[in-house]
C-alpha cells in the first residue's frame, strides 16, 4: 500500500498549497490513500466542516487533528457525523468523535488510521501507550486483519514520539509525529518494520515562526507579555509530509521518504 501523509495544514496559505500541490503528488507518488492533519487549517486554530469538505474534494481520504481540534466550536456537533475526521484516541471516554477509522480502498484493502496525542508539555490526557495497546488488540495487521496501520502521534517531545515508535515497532506500519511544525531529518524504518518520522512538519509558510507572523512571537519572547493574538502569515506555503510503501501481506514498511514541495525548503519527492 502506498500511503501519503501530509503534516499540519496551517491557515489559508496551507490550504491553498495543499490544493495546488496534491495533484502533482498524486501523479508522481500514486498513493492509495491520502491522510492530512488539519487541526490548524482554520486561520491557524482548529478546523471547520467546510474545510473538511474542501479537503475531501481535493482528494483527502482521512483527516487527523490534535490539541486544537475543538478551537472552532462548530466542530463539536459535526465530528460525530464524519467518521473520517479524527480527534486524539486518548481523550476521555464520552468525548465527541473517534480516534481511529478503518478506511477501505476500492480494491478491498484496508488501512486503520489512528490519531493519538502525547502528554509531555501537552494536555494531560489518558495514557496514549495504553490506548494504543488496547486498540491494536482489536486491529492486527496481516491475514484476517487490516493491511496497514498508521498512527499520527501529535506531540511536543521527540523522545516521547520516538518511544511510541519503538513501542509499536512491528505492530503498526507507520508512526509519524505532528504538532511542532518543523520537519525532522530522521525518516527511517525500525528493525521490526515500522516506518517512523519524529515530525512531518507543517504545510504552511516557512517565512514565519511555525506559521505565525514573525513579529508577534518575537515580541512575546522579548517582552514576556501578551501582545496580540497569533495570526498566520500569507506567503506561499510548502507542503510537508511522509510517504510510505508497505507490504500488504504483513503491513510492514518497505520504503519511506520525506515529502516537501514548495518554496524555501529543499524539495523532496520520493521516487520509489
To which residue does cell 525548503 refer? 265
List the one residue out of 230, 203, 228, 247 whose CA is nearest residue 58: 203
Q: Are strands 195-197 and 174-178 parallel, antiparallel or unpaired?
A: parallel
Distance, CA of 166 to chain centre = 18
* Contacts of residue 14, Cβ cutoff 8 Å, sequence gap at least 6: 8, 40, 41, 202, 203, 204, 205, 211, 237
CB 132 within 8 A of CB 89: yes
Question: Please, are residues 21 and 4 in contact by the beta-carbon 8 Å criterion?
Answer: no
Contact 240, 263 (CB under 8 A): no
Question: For residue 139, what is its C-alpha cell?
Answer: 486491529
Catalytic residue IDs = 68
Strands (E), 7-136: 33-37, 62-64, 100-104, 110-117
Minimal CA–CA distance to 5: which of 208, 18, 44, 54? 18
Amino acid at each position: 500500500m502506498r500511503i501519503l501523509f501530509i503534516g499540519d495544514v496551517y491557515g489559508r496559505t496551507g490550504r491553498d498549497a495543499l490544493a495546488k500541490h496534491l495533484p502533482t503528488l498524486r501523479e508522481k507518488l500514486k498513493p492509495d490513500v491520502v491522510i492530512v492533519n488539519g487541526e490548524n487549517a482554520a486561520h491557524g486554530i482548529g478546523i471547520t466542516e467546510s474545510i473538511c469538505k474542501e479537503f475531501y474534494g481535493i482528494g483527502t481520504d482521512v483527516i487527523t487533528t490534535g490539541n486544537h481540534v475543538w478551537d472552532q466550536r462548530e466542530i463539536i456537533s459535526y465530528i460525530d457525523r464524519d467518521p473520517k475526521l479524527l480527534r486524539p484516541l486518548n481523550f476521555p471516554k464520552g468525548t465527541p468523535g473517534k480516534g481511529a477509522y478503518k478506511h477501505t480502498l476500492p480494491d478491498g484493502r484496508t488501512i486503520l488510521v489512528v490519531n493519538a496525542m502525547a502528554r509531555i508539555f501537552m494536555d494531560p490526557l489518558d495514557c496514549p501507550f495504553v490506548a494504543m495497546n488496547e486498540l491494536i488488540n482489536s486491529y492486527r495487521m496481516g491475514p484476517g486483519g487490516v493491511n496497514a496501520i498508521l498512527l499520527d502521534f501529535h506531540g511536543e517531545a521527540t523522545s516521547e514520539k520516538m518511544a511510541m515508535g519503538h513501542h509499536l515497532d512491528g505492530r503498526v506500519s507507520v508512526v509519524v509525529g505532528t504538532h511542532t511544525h518543523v520537519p525532522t531529518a530522521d525518516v527511517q524504518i525500525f528493525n521490526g518494520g515500522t516506518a517512523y518520522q519524529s515530525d512531518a512538519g507543517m504545510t504552511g509558510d516557512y517565512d514565519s515562526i511555525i506559521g505565525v507572523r514573525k513579529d508577534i512571537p518575537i515580541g512575546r519572547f522579548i517582552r514576556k507579555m501578551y501582545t496580540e493574538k497569533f495570526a498566520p502569515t500569507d506567503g506561499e506555503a510548502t507542503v510537508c509530509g511522509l510517504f510510505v510503501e508497505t507490504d500488504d501481506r504483513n503491513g510492514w514498511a518497505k520504503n519511506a521518504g520525506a515529502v516537501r514541495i514548495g518554496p524555501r525548503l529543499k524539495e523532496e519527492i520520493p521516487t520509489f
